[in-house]
Amino acid sequence: MSSAIRVQLRCFSHVKHALGQDVVELHLPLDSTAADVECCVRAMLPQHLSSMVFRLALNHQVVDGSAAVHDGDEVALLPPMQGG
Amino acid sequence: MHGVFTRIIDGPLPPMSDDQQHDEDGAELVFHGRVRAGERGRAIVALEYEVYREMAEMELRRLAQEAVARFPISSLHCLHRVGRVDVGDASLRVIIWSKHRSEALQAIEWFIAALKDRVPIWKWGVTAEGDRFPS
């Protein structure tokens, strides 16, 4: 059994601008949470985004950091939204 | 059409239809959100609206249903454009029908504030030189 999971990170707005990609595949330990994903992604972001508050979406639903992440899940860090 | 109708669309907003199905409603409140010529202190020629479509379509519909449940209004229609929208063009149309104006005015204020907070859509400014920057 593998000791890691793969999740697909969807990137939008400032996250996409910083990472230069729409989608990034992340490899995480088993038993990872949405907060672990955020931590991993924040480490890839530039300093000027360190104070930005993100919401976490797991398979198209907003979740809190304690949500368990599984192999094959789709995760997004959502910057402050700006519709209208 | 009574109830809610929501769409995220890639092209221009269609012309408004002459809706004859609201004889019980004395108020028809129409709001258009338009693109301003400046964003974050920079002159722009357009905004590009980016969308997390799988989430945004669900969330927009959920918000419209919530508005109809929360306020005594009979119908709410909302169209939101994504992709490039030039300065001066409308990116958003909300129409609310209700018996009286006050409930429609309250509902639209709540709905647009909630839309800006909960529907995963983002803006990128586009300058005359072609630079794009997340807003």
Q: Which domain CATH number covers B93?
A: 3.90.1170.40
Average confidence (pLDDT) per 10 residues, chain B, 135 residues: 88 85 92 95 96 97 97 97 98 97 98 97 96 91
Nearest to B92 among A16, A61, A84 (CB): A84
The answer to the question of residue B29 being in a domain is yes
Domain range for A49: 4-78
Q: What is the dihedral of CA A44, A46, A52, A55, to 10 degrees?
A: -20
The answer to the question of residue B9 being in a domain is no
Q: How many domains does chain A have?
A: 1
Query: Rounded to an integer, what distance in angstroms lies between the CA atom of residue B72 and that of residue B131?
Result: 45
The answer to the question of residue A72 being in a domain is yes
pTM: 0.92
Task: Compute the Cα dihedral for B128, B129, B132, B135 and give only its sign.
Answer: negative
Nearest to A83 among B54, B121, B133 (CB): B121
Tens digits of per-residue pLDDT, A5-29? 999 999 999 999 999 999 999 999 9
On whether the CB atoms of residues B52 and B46 are closer than 8 A, the answer is no
Scan for tokens 């839309």, then name that residue. Answer: B115
Q: How many domains does chain B have?
A: 1
The answer to the question of residue B3 being in a domain is no
CATH number at residue A45: 3.10.20.30
Domain range for B118: 25-134
Quote ipTM for the complex.
Answer: 0.90
The answer to the question of residue A23 being in a domain is yes
